[in-house]
Amino acid sequence: MTQNTDGHTGASPDIVIVGAGPVGLTLANILGLQGVRTLVVDERDSLIDYPRGVGLDDEALRTFQSIGLVEQILPHTVPNQILRFFDANRKLLAEMAPPDARFGWPKRNGFVQPMVDAELLAGLDRFDHVEVRWGHRMENCAETADGVTVTFADRRTPVATRYVVGCDGGRSATRHLMGVSFDGTTSSTRWLVVDCANDPLGHPNSEVGADPRRPYVSISIAHGIRRFEFMIHGHESDEEADSPAFVRRMLAQMVPDPERVDIIRHRVYTHHSRIAGAFRKGRLMIAGDAAHLMPVWQGQGYNSGIRDAANLGWKLAAVVKGQADDALLDTYDIERRKHARAMIDLSTMVGRVISPTNRRVATLRDKVIHAASVVPALKRYVLEMRFKPMPRYEQGAVYHGEPRSASSPTGTLFIQPRVDTRDRQNVLLDDILGPGFSVLCWSNNPCALLGDEVFARWKALGTTFVAVRPMTQLHWRGYDDPDVVIVGDRTGALKAWFDTHTDSVLFLRPDRCIAGACIAQRAAELSASLFKVLHLTWEGGNGASESLLYVSQPTAESSGTVAGSP
């Protein structure tokens, strides 16, 4: 990777990413691994060095795993973070301590954002075809017949590219240039956030105080950092709340000696619940806070942006490399909008439950929650975070078949247990599947099920073919195929998954979403429908001699070794 503030090196980029925050950097790593020439520009001179987001979920860690950086990021996290909600009398209202890790990682993780962002930036050093330019403020994007010309302030050299992705925050210049709305509301309630080094409490607990006198938050991050948040009342001005005396007075509610607290920074902020009218317009797209803003209560602002990058990255790569038509990019908005909206609504609702300052309303809330907590099913629902909306794509780059089955796994994320192969033990499944498409089936040879022509089309995409077997059959050599990876179901989680579904053949996208699922006999038939909804291109002659435009997967030597690989 080249980092500079002025010069230009190499060929014109295929993609320009505006904004070197976590979403832009994650997207650049995804594109870098796929061999896509990428330029990241940012008007700042360097990364933001103070904590902002404080919670990573399992999906975000899975994405960081997919770009080969999770081992570098984990030292900056606190896994399995428990979050407790208390009433005004310090009586426990609810607790979130989700026990399972179906996607390979804990559901709740505290983290230090500047350090994780720095690892995402350092990850770009693996790629000669990815460049970061600081001090570049984008002024305009002019679409041409086959691309976009990006111009910058201070007479910096314009850049010609194929697509622009704005990851430039809530005040996104890219969104403004697209001319799309940013619909929603901004809460009138303000909060004071105080980040402290040398954690004055020192324990790993995190809590939300639903105290009508002054709701508060106390969150343990990593490396001895703790965040406190306090609601600011209507009669308290921003200037008053920003004063050292006010900050110390708030801290006095939490620690015995507020004068000795090592404050990293403090600021006043408000909560936004907004979503852009469109995530794509022509050759311009937006992701992260540029596309949606949500209150902090579920810690999903950062994670939703990482989901955007994971959804959009493989699609951009497929289009740029000639594997798919431009229409595939339309599915980004189709798929991400509904889930982003659901996260905004959930975060807004939780904020309303936590924040009432009317004592009667708060008392009624507490009684309802305490009554619900004695019902085992409701308690598990909260404890295991089953209320969290999970991506489920009804439309987009997925094929549900007709008639649709309510129990179909299509459009959902596939699980990621630990598995064995014949030469590797106890590895996460995604490290076997690799960075591209995969066809996975239970106790069958996927190549034989697909037939020669359909198999050739999938293989031309760099698809990984996986046959899952019970561990008792892992080393049995019958019906071996050189194009198929044999996977042993080390934990039994894969058999348990197939036990609850009638589908035995899964077509997985690079983001681990199930694009389609069927019984073994219909694998070739389903493939034909998937090629259409994925907008995959097909070049060459006629009949069996045709071949999909082939682009090889990047090697460890050219793009860095994926975490978990030897």
Query: Is 180 part of any known ligand binding site?
Result: no
- The reply to whether 322 sits in an annotated binding site is no
Consult the annotation and say whether 193 binds a ligand. Answer: no
Q: Is 38 annotated as a binding residue?
A: yes
Q: Does 363 carry a binding-site annotation?
A: no
Q: Is 224 annotated as a binding residue?
A: no
Residue type at position 430: D
Instruction: Give the number of other Cβ atoms within 10 Å of residue 79's Cβ.
Output: 17
Determine whether the annotation assigns residue 39 to a binding site: yes
Q: DSSP letter string over 263-325?
A: EEEEEEEEEEEEEES-SEETTEEE-GGGTEE--GGGS-HHHHHHHHHHHHHHHHHHHHTTSB-
351 assigned binding-site residue: no
482 assigned ligand-binding residue: no
500 labeled binding residue: no
507: which 2 tokens?
Answer: 């077509």
Q: How far apart are CA 120 and CA 48, in angstroms?
A: 13
Any binding-site annotation on 516?
no
493 contact partners, CB below 8 Å, separation of at least 6 = 102, 415, 417
Name, in order, each residue with C-beta under 8 angstroms of 90's C-beta and a sequence gap of 6 or more. none
Paired tokens of 533: 């909804």
364 annotated ligand-binding residue: no
Q: Is 382 annotated as a binding residue?
A: no
At 534, is the secondary structure helix, strand, or coil? coil
C-alpha–C-alpha distance, residues 269 and 449, integer Å: 56
Would you say 127 is a known binding-site residue? no
Q: Is the peptide bond before 470 cis (omega within 30 degrees of 0)?
A: no
Q: Residues near 79 by Cβ (< 8 Å), separated by ≥ 6?
A: 105, 106, 109
The tokens for 248 are 């110390």
On whether 312 is known to bind a ligand per the annotation, the reply is no
Cα-flanking dihedrals φ and ψ of residue 357, to 5°?
-105, -5
- Determine whether the annotation assigns residue 286 to a binding site: yes
**33 a known binding residue?**
yes
Q: Is 526 annotated as a binding residue?
A: no
- Going through 415-480 in order, the beta strands assigned E by DSSP cover 418-419, 427-428, 438-442, 464-469
20 marked ligand binding residue? yes
Determine whether the annotation assigns residue 494 to a binding site. Answer: no
- Is 287 labelled as part of a ligand binding site? yes
- List C-alpha distances in Å: 543 to 454, 528, 540: 11, 14, 9
Task: Check whether 25 is labelled as a binding-site residue.
Answer: yes
Q: Is 31 one of the annotated binding-site residues?
A: yes
> Is-contact 486 464, C-beta < 8 A?
no
Q: Is 49 flagged in the annotation as binding?
A: no
For residue 23, say whether it is annotated as part of any ligand binding site: yes
Contact of 233 with 214, CB cutoff 8 Å: yes
- Residue 204 annotated as part of some ligand binding site: no
Q: Binding site annotation covers 27?
A: yes
- Whether residue 59 is annotated as binding a ligand: the answer is no
192 is in an annotated binding site: no
Q: Is 365 annotated as a binding residue?
A: no
Residue 41 annotated as lining a ligand binding site: yes
Query: CA dist 453 to 370, 448, 518, 519, 560, Å?
Result: 60, 11, 19, 19, 32
For residue 251, give both structure tokens. 């801290």
Please indicate if the annotation marks 284 as binding a ligand: yes
- How does 181-219 read in b/e, with b if 16+ C-beta sit within 10 Å? ebebeeeebbbbbbbbeebbeeeeebbbbbbbeebbbbb
Residue 165 marked in a binding site: no
Mark 346-366 as b/e (b = at least 16 C-beta within 10 Å).
bbbebbebbbbeeeeebeebb
The answer to the question of whether 55 is labelled as a binding residue is no
Task: Answer yes or no: is 359 a known binding residue.
Answer: no
Indicate the annotated binding residues for FAD. 14-43, 279-289
Indicate the annotated binding residues. 14-43, 279-289
